[in-house]
Amino acid sequence: MFRKLLLGLTVIAFAGAGAAFAQQSGIKRTPLQKVDFPAGYNTVTAIAEVPAGGASGRHSHPGAETGYVLEGELELAIDGKPPLKLKAGDSYQIPEGAVHDAKTSGDKPLKVLGVYVVKAGEPLAKPAP
């Protein structure tokens, strides 16, 4: 019972963090699960959605991100690297702390499944200039 309560409170906390970030950048993150692993880190699985013509906004994560494009097309801009054109069925990786932005391509919204391995106690994402 205690474990279910703790898991529920954790999901609510991540949902609140995702909602706050969404208000800042236009991206919607729906946390699916959180695992306290490896030691000192949290592994968070989430769905990220960006409306057609939108962008996630420049941001970074206190850990690595890997993902899979479920729907739509995007241009993934990671500082210091050439932009990547991705479509449904493609996967990507973003190094820890790398500032990046995902802009939708075409007239469809973007939906990705993201896995974030972030330092425990840090916010999932931080806006970047």
Would you state the pLDDT for residue 25?
52
**Is there a cis peptide before residue 95, judged by omega within 30 degrees of 0?**
no
The more confidently predicted of residues 28 and 76 is 76
| 36, pLDDT greater than 90 | yes
22: its two tokens:
């969404």
Q: Select the CATH number that applies to the domain covering 2-127 from these four: 1.25.40.10, 3.40.1280.10, 2.60.120.10, 2.30.31.70.
A: 2.60.120.10
Is the torsion defined by CA of 24, 62, 37, 92 positive or negative?
positive
Would you state the pLDDT for residue 104?
95
Cα–Cα distance, 10 to 13 (Å, whole number): 5
Could you report the per-residue pLDDT of 78-91, keeping only the tens digit for each? Answer: 999 999 999 999 99
- Are the C-beta atoms of 80 and 45 separated by less than 8 Å? no
Angle at 93 between CA 59 and CA 125, to 5 degrees: 25
Domain residues of the chain, as ranges? 2-127
pTM: 0.78
Could you report the per-residue pLDDT of 64-80, keeping only the tens digit for each? Answer: 999 999 999 999 999 99
